[in-house]
Amino acid sequence: MRILFIGNSATYVHDIPETLARLATDAGFPTESVRIVKGGWCLSQHAAEGSRALAEIEKGYDLVVLQDNGNCVSSDEKRSACINACEVLSSKAIGSGAKVAYYVRPPYGYEAFGRTPVEQCRAFDELFTEIAKKKGAVCVYVNRAFEYAIENSDIRLWGDDNAHTSEAGAYLAVCVHFAAIFGKSATLLGDNGIENAKMLQEIADKIVFGG
């Protein structure tokens, strides 16, 4: 499985692509990952004509994973920009023979755009579920896993800046990606040195396989 990740620091902090590839390969699912990520970037910037992301897609991947900035739900203008960018990037990926997945990102660990973390999760959900339906793509609902973990555990999901994921939060994102992409239980993965790995694996399975 060759996977291209396109996004920003929500993807590269704790290197979710590399961690997924390593743990999936160790679990018996050979995986390679490449990332085109830049801090603070929106998908609209990656979708601009002549972008590095568009050029990379043409090299051929099995799966292209798209992750937008958290501000994609901050205004109607940002939502429209996100939808348009997803159209451009998804069409390019599908044209290259790849499947498309939307990494429905975690919320910030604080109120942003007038929304609590849980409200952010639901706003991301609404936006990307609709986009995915139109494109015949899938969603990797990391947001739903975070919402569940917020409400049902005391695991610290964010780092010191309360914006980017902690190691545990990143591991949860990896588990959701694995279960969603391969259709296999996240309990097949190694713990990556995470103290609450089993609980996080089970949350990922609950979200992906239990609705």
Mean pLDDT (10-residue bins), the chain, 211 residues: 98 98 98 97 97 98 98 97 98 97 98 97 97 93 98 97 98 98 98 97 97 61
Report the half-sphere exposure of 59 (CA within 13 A, side-chain side): 13
Residue 123 confidence (pLDDT) = 98
Q: Which residue has the tokens 């259709």?
A: 183
Q: What is the Cα–Cα distance from 20 to 14, expressed in whole angstroms?
A: 11
Residue 143 confidence (pLDDT) = 98
For the entire predicted model, the pTM comes to 0.97
Residue 135 confidence (pLDDT) = 87
Element of type H or E holding 157: none
Q: What is the Cα–Cα distance from 54 to 50, expressed in whole angstroms?
A: 7
Q: What angle do CA 154, 119, 76 make, to 5 degrees?
A: 150
Q: Which CATH architecture has domain 2-210?
A: 3-Layer(aba) Sandwich (3.40)
Are the beta carbons of 137 and 168 closer than 8 angstroms? no
Residue 211 confidence (pLDDT) = 61
Domain ranges in the chain are 2-210
